[in-house]
């Protein structure tokens, strides 16, 4: 009965606790973590309002809730499970399938991949870069690299993680043209084999720190 007669006060208490919980989170916390913090704020509201009946002190409630929340964060991290799964899948796929990429600068000793996935621009090539870049055929990217995930969600997560290079052309947000140094030689290579070369690729990198 008290709850029904004090709705506004309850809402105000929840909003106060919710603001405190959100303020504790780092800026890069995922939406999922923020939603979980919101649920803990709801629990704290209920516990604190029920203190006259339970006899539990305010600090005891806060300590118990914070301990449970920290346990959850230790288990699942500050990023969503989907985000972690996508990053791990793409990292793993690139590491396992390195042999499917034609190296650039071209290695004359490299055997032609049986199921080519694109080009691997080595970090020691003339283009300034910190790590190898994988120029992935769009079809391979969709059907193999991010298989099982929503394309838009995966693209946004990988872009935010620094694993995807955003396209510069309108209408091709996640596609890039091959650098001329690679494209010219690629055209010649494919022409000899009688294959039509793709003009646009998904440009990806391995994330070294998860």
Listed in sequence order, the residues at least 6 apart from 106 whose beta carbon sits closer than 8 Å to its beta carbon are 185
Helix axes 81-96, 151-160, angle to 10 degrees: 80
In this prediction the pTM is: 0.60
Using the predicted structure, report yes or no on whether residue 17 has a pLDDT greater than 90.
yes
Sole residue written with tokens 């000793």: 109
Per-residue pLDDT tens digits for 123-170? 765 555 567 889 898 999 999 999 999 999 899 889 888 899 888 888
Per-residue pLDDT tens digits for 76-128? 777 777 888 899 999 999 999 988 988 887 777 777 777 888 888 887 655 55
Identify the weakest region by mean pLDDT among 40-49, 69-78, 124-133: 124-133
pLDDT score recorded for residue 90: 94
| Structure-token pair, residue 73 | 């964060």
Produce one character per residue of 117-144: b if its CB has 16 or more CB atoms within 10 Å, e if not. bbbbbeeebeeeeeebbbbbbeebbeee
pLDDT score recorded for residue 186: 63
**Concatenated DSSP letters for 101-125?**
EEEES--TTSPPPTT--EEEE-TTS
- Coil, helix or strand at residue 203: strand
d(CA 120, CA 16): 52
Q: Are 174 and 166 in contact (CB under 8 A)?
A: yes
pLDDT score recorded for residue 74: 86
With the C-alpha atoms ordered 9, 11, 12, 14, is the resulting torsion angle positive or negative?
positive
């Amino acid at each position: 009965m008290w709850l029904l007669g004090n709705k506004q006060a309850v809402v105000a208490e929840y909003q106060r606790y919710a603001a405190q919980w959100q303020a504790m989170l780092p800026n890069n916390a995922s939406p999922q973590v923020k939603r979980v913090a919101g649920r803990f704020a709801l629990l704290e509201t209920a516990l604190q309002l029920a203190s006259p009946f339970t006899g539990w002190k305010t600090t005891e409630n806060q300590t118990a809730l914070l301990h449970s929340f920290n346990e959850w964060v230790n288990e699942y991290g500050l990023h969503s499970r989907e985000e972690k799964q996508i990053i791990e899948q793409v990292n793993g796929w690139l590491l396992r399938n390195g042999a499917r990429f034609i190296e650039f600068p071209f290695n004359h000793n490299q055997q032609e991949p049986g199921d080519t996935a694109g080009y691997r621009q080595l970090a020691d090539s003339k283009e300034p870069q910190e790590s190898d870049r994988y120029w992935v055929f769009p079809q391979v990217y969709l059907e193999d690299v991010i298989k099982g995930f929503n394309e838009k969600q995966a693209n946004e997560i990988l872009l935010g993680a620094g694993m995807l290079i955003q396209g510069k052309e309108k209408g091709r947000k996640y596609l890039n043209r091959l650098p001329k140094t690679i494209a010219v030689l690629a055209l010649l290579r494919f022409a000899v084999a009688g294959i039509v070369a793709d003009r646009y690729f998904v440009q990806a990198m391995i994330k070294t720190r998860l």
